[in-house]
Structure 1
Amino acid sequence: MPHVDLLLIGTGSGNSILSEEFRDRSVAIVERGVFGGTCLNVGCIPTKMFVHTADVAATPASSSRLGVDETLDQVRWPHIRDRIFGRIDPIASGGRDYRTTHPDNAHVTLYEGTARFTAERQVQIEPNDGGPSLSLTADQVVVAAGGRPYIPNIPGLADVPFHTSDTIMRLEELPRHLTVVGGGYVATELAHVFSSLGVAVTVINRSGALLRAEDEEVSARFTELADLKWDVRLNTTVRRVDQHGSALRLELAGPEGETTLETGELLLAVGRVPNTDLLDAPAGGLAMNPAGLLVVDEYQRTTVDGVWALGDICSPWALKHVANHEARIVQHNVLHPESPQAADHRYVPHAVFSSPQVASVGMTEKHALAQGIEISVARQAYADIAYGWAMEDTTGFAKLVAEKGTGRLLGAHIIGPQAPTLIQPLIQAMSFEQDVREIARGQYWIHPAMPELVENALLQLD
C-alpha cells in the first residue's frame, strides 16, 4: 500500500498549502472534480465576471434619470460565456499541468478520483476513469474537499433537466424564462445576471423574504427592490415538476393556493452541502456536526491526530476568503507543530453581488439585542451624501451597530452600490479593535467620495 508524508484531498484553497517547504516531503493530491475547486470553476470568479457584465447591461435601464438616454442593443451570450470560461478553463488546466509535469512537483502525485476514508489517515481512491481502485496511507492528511449544491427532494425532478450553479453559466443559449428556486446569495446573484441580460426571471422562495440571513432591514429592502425587477414568489414551495413539451411545468404551493408555472430553464439554488458523505468521514474516525461539517478546533485540527481540515468541508461560512485564511493556518501548523497558530474567525465578512449589492460583517441589530447588549444603531442613506446625489441613489443605506458608550463596533451592514468595497474599513476597525469615534474623527475622509457614507454613519454612534 503506497504511503506518503502528506495527503491533500481537494485542489481549491488546499492546493495553496504546498509551498517550497514541502519539497522534501512526499505528497499525494486527490481531486474528484475540476482542478482548482469551486471558487475558480463554478463559484466566486466566474459568477463575478458574469455579474460585472450584467451590471454593464443593466446600465441603460436606469440612465434616463441622469439625462442620458441609452439602449441595450444586443446581448451576445456565447461571446460572454466563452470570454469568461476562455480565461478560467486554462487556469484550471494550467494548475493541473503544473502539479503533474513541472519539475517543482516531482515529489507530488495527483490522483483524479474520489477518496473515501477506510481507516484513520487511510483512503481508498476510485479513479474518475473507472480504473482499479487504490489504497493510500499518510502521516498527515489535509481535507479540503469542499461542498456541492444541495438538490432538494422534489417529485418529478429526477425525470427532467435542471441546473445548479455548477451548470447554469455554461448554457448553450439564453432562455426566454428562467425560474430560480431559492432566496440566498447564489439565487439572487444569478437572478441578477440573467434578468440583466434580458431573461424573464421568476424567483421562488419558501420564506417570506430574500437574503433572510442578512440584517432584517437589509433583507426587507432587498426583497422590496427585487420584486420590482423579478417575479418574486414568497412563502412558496415547489410541489412537483414535470416536462411539458419543450418547457418545464412547476406545481407551486403558496399564499394564493396551488398554482402552476411554465418555464424554459430551472435553476436550483437552495444551499450547499459539504462533501463529507462522499468522503465517508466516519470511517476515518472524523467527527461531524449536525450540519455534516467536519469538526475542527481553533487550529483546524480534526478529531483524528494528524488530520486537518479547511474550507467548505468544515466551515459554516462557505467563503473563499475564509478557506484561504484557513489554508494559511493549516500550512503553518503542518510545518511548525511546535508553534501552532489559531484561525481568526471573529469577524468574517461576506458580500452578495446582486443588484443592489449587499455586504455585512459582525452582529445584526437583532443578534446584539438577543445577547442583552445595550447598543447604539446608526443608519445612513446614500441619498444623503453628495456622491449619492450624483448617482441618484434613493434606496441604499448603511447600518452600523455598536456597543453603547464603549465605541466598540459590533456589526456593519450595507446595501447599495459598491457595498463590498465600502465595508472594508469597518472590517478593519473591528479586527483591530478601533474605537468608532477614533475611526470617524481620527482621519481624513475624501469629499465627496462614497466612503462618506461610512463616515457619516460612524459620526451618529454614541
Structure 2
Amino acid sequence: MATRLTVLGAGPGGYVAAVRAAQLGATVTLVEKEQVGGTCLNWGCIPSKIMKTTAEMLERFHQAGQFGIRLDGSAELDMQQLMTRKQQVLSTQIKGIEGLLAHHKVKLVRGSAHIDGPGKASATGEDGQVQRWEWDRLIIATGSQPFSVPAFPFDGRLILSSNHILEIEQVPESMVIVGGGVIGCEFACILSAMGTAVIVVEALDRLLPLPSVDAGCSKVLEREMKKRKIKFYVNRVVESIEGHGDGLAVTIGPSPFASDLKEKDRVPVTETVAQALVCIGRSPNTKDIGLSTLGLATDAKGWIPVDDRLQTGVPGVYAIGDVLGPERVMLAHVASTEAMLAAENAMGRDRAMDYTAVPGAIFTMPEVACVGLTEAQAKAQGIDARADTALFRTIGKAQVIGELAGQATIISESGSGKVLGVHIIGPHATDLLGEGTLAVSNNLSVADIADTIHAHPTLAEIMLEVALKATGKALHG
C-alpha cells in the first residue's frame, strides 16, 4: 500500500513537499485554509514585487527627460489599476499551483487543519463541515503571520501590518515604518517612490541589521535612502503611537540595544504621520493545530524544533518553512528546498539540510543580494579572509541604464582564493547573485570567476571586475 502523507499548509514549502512526495509514490493530502501559495504568493514576495515594479516604472517616467524622452503631462499612479493587476498576477499563479497539484493527483482539502492524534487529521471548512482521514507521515508547513506589538496593535486603518499595506487604496501622505529590516526597508523604498514621506525606525545600529548582510551594503543603502529623502533613525525604538487628529503621533526614544549614544540621541522625539507600518518580525502558525496530540512540543515562542533531516521529535513527523523560526532561514526558497528534502526523507531517503549557501534577495532600491559569509563572520570564525569590492559605476551597462549606485564585494580565503561570500547592492543585484551562490556552494575560487568570460556589456561584469581585483588583476579600479 502506498504511503499516506499529509501536508499542512500549501505555501512554497507545503505545496512543493506535496508534489515531491507524490512524485515518489505517496498518496498525498494537502490542507490549506486560504489560497494556495501561502504568504509568499498572497501576502509577501509576489505582491510586494508587483508594487515595486510599478514604483520603479513611475520613477523611470519621472527620469524620462534624462534619457531623451519628452512626456506631455505628468505620470501619475493609479492605485486601483495597480491592485487590479496585482490580483490578476496572483490569480494566474494560484491557478498554476492548483493545476500542478491536480496533475500530480494531490488531494487538496480546503479548511483549517487539525492533528487529531498519531496518524489522524481533520479539516474544518468555512461551512463548518469536517473532513477526517489517516496518515502515515506528516509534514507541518503552516507558516507564520506578522507579529503584532501589544502596545500598538494592528487596526488595519492607521496601524498596518505587512499584509495590510498590500491592499491600500491610496498612497499614504506620510508613514512611519517600525523596523528597518528587509520588509521595512523594501516598503520604505516602494512608498517613497510613490510619493509618501517615509520615516524608518530601527532598534539596531544600521538598516538591514541582519548577520547575513554585509555592513557595506547597509552603508550604501542608507546613503541612497537619504538621497530619496527617506528619513531614518537607527539605535531608536518606537515607544508609543497615539492618535493625533486624523493621523498619529509617534514617540521615538533610545534603543535598549544601543550603547555610547550621544546625548541628543537619548532625548525622545515625536513625529506626526498619517499611518504606521509595523514590520518587526513574525509569529508561528502553530497554535491550536493539535501538536499536543502527538506529544510534539514547540519552543517558548511557538517555533517547532527539528533535526538536520527536518524531522521533529516525533518519528514520521516533519516540519519545514517559517514554523522552524529564525534559528533557521525564513525565506520562501529555503522553505521549498526544505520541502524537497523533508518529502524525500519521509519517503525513506536520508538527506541532511545544508544552509551554507542560502542566497538572500532584498528588493530595496537599489537591490541587495548576499550569500555566504560576511567579512565580519569570516573573521569571527578565525578565517584569514580578504574583502574586495568593485563599484557599479565602473560597469558600462550601469552607465547605459543610468543606475550607478552600488557595489559588489567578494569575501575570499587568503591564499586559496576560495569564495566564502558574495554581497551585492546595485541594479538587478538579486538577479546577479546566482554566480556567487554557485561559487560558494561548489567551493570555487576567485580565479575561477576571473577566468570565466563574461558577456559585454552586461551588469554581470561586476562579478568579473571584483574577481579580477581579488586576484591582483584589477582593470577598472
TM-score, scaled relative to structure 1: 0.88
2:216 is matched with which residue? Answer: 217
| Structure 2 Cα separation of the partners of residues 20 and 198 of structure 1 | 44
Deviation larger for 238-247 or 33-42: 238-247
| Equivalent residues of 1:157, 1:241 under 8 A apart | no
Amino acid at match of 2:398: G
Q: How far apart, in 2, do the equivalents of 1:346 and 1:224 lie?
A: 30
Secondary structure of 1:179 counterpart: strand
* Counterparts of 2:156 and 2:428, CA distance in 1: 41
Amino acid at match of 1:81: M
The Cα of 1:54 is off from its aligned counterpart by 1.1
State the partner residue of 1:202.
Answer: 199
SS of aligned partner of 2:250:
strand
Paired residue for 1:192? Answer: 189
- Cα deviation, 1:349-388, whole Å, max 9, x if unaligned, reads 1111110110000000000001111012111011223233
1:332 aligns with 2:347: no
Which residue is equivalent to 1:412?
A: 422
Determine the structure 2 residue equivalent to 1:228.
227
C-alpha deviation, 1:50, in angstroms: 1.3
**Aligned-partner Cα distance in 2 for 1:243–1:141:** 47
1:40 deviation in Å? 0.9
Please point out which of 75, 81, 102 is paired with 1:73.
75
User: Residue in 1 aligned with 2:239?
Assistant: 239
Please give the alpha-carbon distance, in whole angstroms, between the structure 2 residues aligned to 1:109 and 1:385. Answer: 49
Which secondary structure state, in structure 1, belongs to the residue aligned with residue 57 of structure 2?
helix
Partners of 1:121 and 1:284 within 8 A in 2: no
C-alpha separation in 2, matches of 1:429 and 1:149: 34
Secondary structure at the counterpart of residue 470 of structure 2: coil
**Which residue number in structure 2 is paired with residue 317 of structure 1?**
329
* Cα distance per residue 1:62-102 (max 9 Å; x no partner): 55556666675211011011111122135436756986xx6
Matched, 1:141 2:153: no
Change (3 A) 1:209 1:305: same
**3-state SS in 2 of match to 1:174:** coil
> Could you tell me how far apart the structure 1 residues matched to 2:469 and 2:96 are?
51
Partner of 2:410: 400
Q: Which runs of 5+ in 2 are unaligned?
A: 255-264, 472-477
Number of matched pairs:
451
Q: Residue type of the partner of 1:185?
A: V
- Describe the superposition over 1:324-372 as per-residue Cα deviations: whole angstroms up to 9, x where unpaired: 112222222233x0x3233332200111111011000000000000111
Distance 1:384 1:160, change over 3 A: closer
Tell me, what secondary structure is at the counterpart of 1:168? helix
What is the CA–CA distance in structure 2 between the aligned matches of 1:380 and 1:392, rounded to whole Å?
A: 17
How far did 1:270 drift? 1.1
Change (3 A) 1:121 1:190: farther
Distance (Å, rounded) in 2 between the aligned partners of 1:269 and 1:156 = 12
How far apart are 1:279 and its partner, in Å? 3.5
Distance of aligned partners of 1:210 and 1:72 in 2 relative to their CA distance in 1, 3 Å threshold: farther
**Whole-angstrom distance in 2 between the partners of 1:165 and 1:372:** 39
Q: Distance in 2 between matches of 1:385 and 1:77?
A: 35
Counterpart residue number, 2:470: 461
CA distance in 2: counterparts of 1:98 and 1:384, whole angstroms: 44
Show CA shifts across 1:88-139 (max 9, x none): 135436756986xx6974x725141143x464454565x3637376766522
- Summarize deviations over 1:188-232 as a string: whole Å, max 9, x none: 111211211122222122223111112111112212221232121
What is the identity percentage for the equivalent residue pairs of Structure 1 and Structure 2?
A: 27
**Which one of the candidate residues 420, 442, 451 is aligned to 2:460?**
451
- Kept in 1, the 8 Å contact 2:34–2:110? The answer is no
Alignment check: 8 A CA contact 2:310 2:320 kept: yes
**Structure 1 stretches lacking a partner, 5+ long:** none
The whole-number CA distance in structure 2 between the counterparts of 1:196 and 1:432 is: 39
Q: Does 1:33 align with 2:26?
A: no
User: Aligned pair in 2 of structure 1 residues 93, 331: CA closer, same or farther (>3 Å)?
Assistant: same
* 2:9–2:31 CA contact under 8 A, matched in 1: yes
Deviation at 1:154, TM superposition (A): 1.9
Match of 2:58 in 1: 57
Q: 1:290 to 1:406 in 2, by over 3 A?
A: farther
Distance 1:355 1:278, change over 3 A: farther
More displaced 10-residue stretch of structure 1: 77-86 or 233-242:
233-242
SS in 2 for 1:232: strand
CA distance in 2, matches of 1:379, 1:342: 34
In structure 2, C-alpha distance between the alignment counterparts of 1:87 and 1:353, rounded to whole Å = 18
TM-score (structure 2 length as normaliser): 0.85
What do the CA deviations read for 1:374-415 (whole angstroms, capped 9, x no partner)? Answer: 012111011223233334544311111001011210001011
1:290 to partner: Cα distance: 6.1
Change over 3 Å in CA distance of 1:146–1:456 after alignment to 2: same
Deviation at 1:39, TM superposition (A): 0.9
Q: How far apart are the structure 1 equivalents of 2:300 and 2:389?
A: 37
